[in-house]
Amino acid sequence: MNEIRSTTELPALRRDIELHTEDGHVLVGELSVPESGTPVGTLLFLHPLPTAGGYMDSHIIRKAALRLPAMAGLAVLRFNFRGVTSPRGRSQGEFGHGVDERMDLEAALAFIRAEGLPTPWVVGWSFGTEVALNHTIDHDVAGLILLAPPLHRTTPETLDRWNGNVTPIVALIPELDDYLKPDEARERFAVVPRIDIIEVKDGKHLWVGEKQTYRVLSEIVERVNPSALPLPTTFG
């Protein structure tokens, strides 16, 4: 047996995709699905802040795409927000400060529907959590998973809108986060009491290290396909 490491790529069917926004931009991305059978769930990842180096290959997102189709039977869609470049290519457009990215999110949701995939859990990381909170409320999603939300661009008024909605929301708050630590997170999210706030001991905003990666991926799978837990740590 081989130990699962940061570069481990487990079997899946992977293909490059393009998303088309309502304002005419083409975004680049990738869809990964299990090698056989129908996915039991879909993860739509929204990456961290483009101006701080966030992109579809930010490590938690890349590792989810490399592991979870095989480990948990999940489809994983990841893409570059407008104006963002990765080895996959460059998405057209320019950084929209979390506003124009609404159209990027909607293009991804439309693609998932067109593919006939299960209604997605939207997984945002940092900036991606703000796009999720600000723009998914009027869409059919299975739930939101927020990884290290900074709440820089999400107002109390926007959070309050979620009180009229029953979509599950889970927030993973790193104990040592640079922007929003657990006590402040509980205070800021108190406007929506039903949000499930999970403090991750020793966690940091970038979730560095295999221990933190395993914890994050396990928390995601617990919501989407808990029968796949515990996630394996070896393969082959």
Q: What's the pTM value of the predicted model, to 2 decimals?
A: 0.98
Contact 147, 124 (CB under 8 A): yes
Say yes or no: domain 2-235 is CATH 3.40.50.1000.
no
3-class SS string, 195-234: CEEEEECCCCCCCCCHHHHHHHHHHHHHHHCHHHCCCCCE
Looking at residues 71-78, what average pLDDT do you find? 98
Q: Is residue 127 predicted with pLDDT exceeding 90?
A: yes
List pLDDT tens digits, range 79-106: 999 999 999 999 999 999 999 999 999 9
Mean pLDDT, the chain, whole residue set: 98
pLDDT of 236 higher than 90: no
pLDDT given at position 162: 98
HSE-CB for 164 with a 13 A CA cutoff:
6
Structure tokens at 68: 């979870």
Mean pLDDT throughout 21-48? Answer: 98
CB 86 within 8 A of CB 56: yes
Which pLDDT tens digit goes with each residue over 168-225?
Answer: 999 999 999 999 999 999 999 999 999 999 999 999 999 999 999 999 999 999 999 9
**DSSP assignment of the chain, as one string?**
-EE--TT-----EEEEEEEE-TTS-EEEEEEEE-SSS--SEEEEEE-S-GGGT--TT-HHHHHHHHHHHHHH-EEEEEEPPTT-EETTEE-SS---TTTTHHHHHHHHHHHHHHHTPPPEEEEEETHHHHHHHHHSTTS--SEEEEES---SS--HHHHHHGGG----EEEEEETT-SS--HHHHHHHGGGSTT-EEEEETT--TT--SHHHHHHHHHHHHHHH-GGGPSPPSEE-
Residue 101 confidence (pLDDT): 98
What's the token pair of residue 4? 């699962």
